[in-house]
Structure 1
Amino acid sequence: MKFRLKPLQQQVIVITGATSGIGLATARTAARRGASLALAARNGDALAQLEQEFGGDAVATVVADVGQIDDVARIAAKALARFGHIDTWINNAGVSVFGQLEQVHPEDHRRLFDTNFWGVVNGSLEAVKHLKARGGALINLGSEVSDRAVPLQGMYSASKHAVKGFTDALRMELEHEKAPVSVTLVKPAAIDTLFTVHARNYMEREPALPPPIYAPELAAKAILFAAEHPKRDVFVGGAAKAVSLGGFHMPALMDKYMSATMFKQQQGEQPSVRARSDALHQSDPAQTLRERLGSTPKVAESAPYTALSLRSKPLLLALLSGGAAYAAWRMHARGKQSALAVL
C-alpha cells in the first residue's frame, strides 16, 4: 500500500530513550526541523532539562519505563492530550550487558530483554493503535547485531534479533490489513554514545566498541528520513551492512573472525571499577544531556553508504551492497575493520 508521510515540521513524534545518545540527537534534530515532540525516558531531571532547552508548547515529556505496559500507555496519552494525534513513534530506548553469557546474572538477562525487546513490543503495539487510523511511521531501533551476533554481548544480540523478527512480522500483518503505517527497522553500527558507560559490565576491563564508530547525528538523520519516507530497513554506517552480509553469506568465517577479534575489541585499556554504576535497572543519575561519549577522536562524521542507500534506486543499492560485501570479505581477510571506515 502506497501512502505519503507528512513533512517533519507537520509531525508529532514520540521518542523513547530521549535523554542521551541516538534518542537525544534525534530529538534535537527533529526540534530544529519544527516537529512537535513527546519525549520519554526514565530520568525525570534530564527530561526537565530537555523540556527547558526546547521551550515552548511543542514538547511534552513523560517519565516512563518502556518495559512497563502502563508506562507506555501513559506516553501515548500524554502525546494525545498535548497534541491530539501521533504521526511517528520511535522505539529507541535500549540497554546492554557486557560479559560471557554464563557469567551474567539471570535477572540482568531478563532486565535487558524487558527494555530492548518488550519495550519495542509495548511501544509498537501502542503506536499502531493510533497510527492505523490516521497513517504514520513506526521506527524501531535494531542494530547491526540484529543480523549477526557478537560474543560478550550475547543477550544484547539476542534481543536485537528478536526486535527484527517482531518488527518484520508486524510489518507483514499491517501490510495484509492495508494499514497506512510505514514500519522501519534501523540497524546502526557502533555509535559514539554513552552505550558502554550505561551498560552493565562483567568483564575485567571497561567495555569498548569495535571500530569504525559513527556519529550519533548520522543515526538521527537516518531515523528522521524514515519518518518522512517509507523505508523497510536502514543501515547506519556501511560497517553495519557489511557485518550483515558477512553473517549471511559466510557465517562460519564470520564466527572465526568474531572469535578472533571481538573479545579484544570490546574491552578497553582501563580496569573495570568494582560496583560501577550503570543504567541497566535504573536510569543514569547524571543530569547532563550528552549525545556522545567522546572517548575516541576517530569518529566517522559521515556515512556514504547510508546517505546513498536512503535515496538510491534498486540497481545502485545492489552495487552498494556489493561494495559492502567486498568490505566484509576484506575485513575477514585482514582481520580488522579499517576497510569499513570509508563506508
Structure 2
Amino acid sequence: MSRGVAVVTGGTAGLGRAIVRELADRGWDVAVLARGEGGLAGAVSDIQIRGGRALGISTDVADREAVESAADRVESELGPIELWVNDAMVGVFGDFLTTEPDDFERATQVNYFGFVNGTRAALSRMVPRERGHVIQIGSALAHRGIPLQAAYCGAKHAVKGFTESVTTELIHAKSPVRISTVDMPALNTIQFNWVKSQLPHHPQPVPPIYQPEVGAKAVADVADHPRRRTWVGEPTIKTVLGNRFIAGWLDTYLAKVGYDGQQAPEKVEAMLPNNLYEPATGDKGARGIFGSDARNGSPATWAIGHRKTMAAAAVGLGAAAAGGAAMAATAVVSRLRRS
C-alpha cells in the first residue's frame, strides 16, 4: 500500500535524487519537479523500479505559476499531496563583489523563492484538508555564512527565517499540518560539477563530506516521524553551536581557510556546463566526484532514525543510575544504623 503522494523539487540529481529513491523505497508515490528532461526520466524510472507511481514535471521552481500548475497536475494524476520536500538549488561560487548581479539574483530566486513557491503550493492544499507535511532542505550554512557562497548562504538564512514565521502561523491556527527543516552537512553531489564558478580550481564541498544517501535517509526519517528541526551529521551540529558562541572567531578562521577549503586542485577533469539558467542535459544521478572522501554515515545521523531506541536507552540508563543511587543510599543508612 502506498504511503501517499510526495513531491520532491530538484529531485533529478544530487541529494534530491537520493531523497526520491529513499522515499520510493519506503513506499511513497513520488512526483519530481525539476527542469531537465533527462534527469526527470531517470528519476521516474527509479521510482517505478521500486514499485511506486511516478510523475516527472519539467518545472522551474522560481516560477510561481509553474509550481502551482505542477501541484495541480500532481493532485490530478496521483492524488492529494501528503508530503512536499523543497530541495531545488543552483550554485554560484565566487566573491560577492565579482559575482554578476543577475547571477546572484537568479540563485536567490531558485534557492529562496523556489522554497517560498513550493511551500505556498503545498500549504494552500494541505491546510484546508488539515493534513500534510512540508520538509525544507536546509544547511549548516543557514546558520553560518562562509566565503565564496554569499548567494547560497543568504538564501538558506532566508529560508530559515521564513520557515520559522510560517511555523508560528500554523501553530497559531492550531493546524495539524507539519513543517520541518533538515539541515545538511557537506554532501558528495553533482552540484559541484555544474555550479557557476569563478574559482581557479574545481569547487568542492567543505570537508568532512557525506554521501547524499546519508541526508536522504534523514529526510525520510523526518517524514516518518516529523520534528521541526533536524541537524544532520556532527559537522552541522558543531557549525550551529559554534556560531552561537564563537561567531567572531569563526569570521577570522573562515577568512583564512574558507577559500582553499572549497577548492580541489587535484580534480583536473573539466566541469559540466553550469545549470544556473538552463538545465543540464542527460541524467547525472545522485553522487558527485568526491566519493573516495565521503562518509556513509555518522552516530548523529544514525540517531535520527532511531530516536525511540535512543530514548529507551536514556530511560534505561536513568533508571539504572537512579537504582544505583538508591542502593548506595540504602547502604549508607544501614551503616549509620549499625554504628
Task: Report the TM-score, using the length of structure 2 for normalisation.
Answer: 0.86
In the alignment, is the contact (CA less than 8 A) between 1:60 and 1:78 conserved in 2?
A: no
Are 2:205 and 1:204 aligned?
Answer: no
Unaligned segments of structure 1, at least 5 residues: 1-7, 317-343
Q: Distance in 1 between matches of 2:297 and 2:271?
A: 36
Contact 1:234-1:306 within 8 A present in 2 as well: no
Larger Rg: 2
Give 3-state SS (helix, strand or coil) of 2:30's partner. Answer: strand
2:244 pairs with 1:248: yes
Letter of the 2:144 counterpart: R
- Aligned equivalent of 2:329: none
Gaps of 5+ in 2: 315-339
| Match status 1:89 vs 2:89 | no
| In structure 1, distance between residues paired with 2:105 and 2:278 | 14
Q: 1:314 to 1:122 in 2, by over 3 A?
A: farther
> How much has 1:59 moved relative to structure 2?
0.8
Q: Do structure 1's residue 75 and structure 2's residue 70 form an aligned pair?
A: yes
Q: For residue 220 of structure 2, what is the amino acid of its counterpart?
A: L
Q: Aligned residue for 1:266?
A: 262
- In structure 1, what residue type is equivalent to 2:238? A
Contact 2:62–2:110 (8 Å) recurs in 1: yes
More displaced stretch, 276-285 vs 301-310: 301-310
Give the equivalent residue in structure 1 for 2:40. 47
Distance 1:240 1:84, change over 3 A: same
Q: CA RMSD in A?
A: 2.2
Residue in 1 aligned with 2:285? 290
In structure 2, the residue corresponding to 1:10 is in which secondary structure?
coil
Structure 1 counterpart SS, 2:27: coil
Match of 2:213 among 212, 217, 234: 217
What is aligned with 2:294? 299
Distance of 2:34 and 2:73 partners within structure 1: 13
- Alignment deviations for residues 257-315 of structure 1 (CA, whole Å, 9 cap, x no partner): 21121111111205889996111111112x12411113341211012112225515599
Cα displacement string for residues 12-34 of structure 1 (whole angstroms, at most 9, x for unaligned residues): 10000011111111111111222
CA displacement, residues 50-77 of structure 1 (integer Å, 9 cap, x when unaligned): 3234337711111000000111112211
1:336 alignment partner in structure 2: none
Q: Does the 8 A contact of 1:218 with 1:301 survive in 2? A: yes
For 1:214 and 1:275, locate their aligned partners in 2 and report how far apart those are by CA, in whole Å.
21
Which residue of 1 is the match for residue 7 of structure 2?
14
The counterpart of 1:187, out of the listed 162, 183, 190, is 183
Task: Select the residue among 50, 53, 61 that pairs with 1:66.
Answer: 61
Measured in 1, the distance between the counterparts of 2:313 and 2:66 equals 44
Count of residues paired in the alignment: 308
**Cα distance in 2 between the residues matched to 1:26 and 1:304:** 20
Q: Distance in 2 between matches of 1:283 and 1:98?
A: 18
- Check if 1:142 corresponds to 2:154: no
Please give the alpha-carbon distance, in whole angstroms, between the structure 1 residues aligned to 2:271 and 2:298: 37
**Counterpart in 2 of 1:341?**
none
CA distance in 2, matches of 1:118, 1:246: 28
In the alignment, the residues of structure 2 paired with residue 257 and residue 244 of structure 1 have an alpha-carbon distance, to the nearest angstrom, of: 15
Who is 1:156 aligned against?
Answer: 152
Which residue in the other structure is 1:332 paired with? none
Summarize the Cα distance change of 1:302–1:227 in structure 2 as closer, same or farther, 3 Å threshold.
same
- The 5 Å alignment of 1:116-127 reads 116-127=111-122
Provide the rounded CA distance (Å) in 2 between the counterparts of 1:261 and 1:253: 12
How far apart are 1:129 and its partner, in Å?
Answer: 1.0
Counterpart of 2:274 in structure 1 is 278
Residue 169 (structure 1) aligned with residue 165 (structure 2): yes
Instruction: Report the equivalent of 1:25.
Output: 18
Alignment of structure 1 residues 315-326 onto 2, 5 Å: none
Q: Which amino acid aligns with 1:207?
A: P
> Which amino acid is 1:22 matched to?
L
Contact 2:206 2:261 (8 Å CA) reproduced: yes
Q: Distance in 2 between matches of 1:248 and 1:257?
A: 15
Q: Aligned with 2:104: secondary structure?
A: helix
Percent of pairs with identical residues: 30
Cα distance, 1:193 vs structure 2: 0.4
Cα distance in 1 for residues equivalent to 2:52 and 2:290: 35
Q: Is the 8 A contact 1:205 1:268 kept in 2?
A: yes
What is the aligned partner in structure 2 of residue 236 from structure 1? 232
**Offset of 1:155 from its aligned partner?**
1.5
Residues 36 and 58 of structure 2 are in contact (CA less than 8 Å); yes or no, is this contact kept in structure 1? yes
Tell me: CA distance 1:109–1:244, structure 2 relative to 1, closer, same or farther (3 Å). same
SS of the aligned residue for 2:186 comes to coil
1:142 and 1:117 map into 2 onto residues whose CA distance is 11
Indicate if the aligned counterparts of 2:231 and 2:237 stay in contact, CA closer than 8 A: yes
The one-letter code sitting in structure 1 at the alignment partner of 2:39 is A
One-letter code aligned to 1:194: I
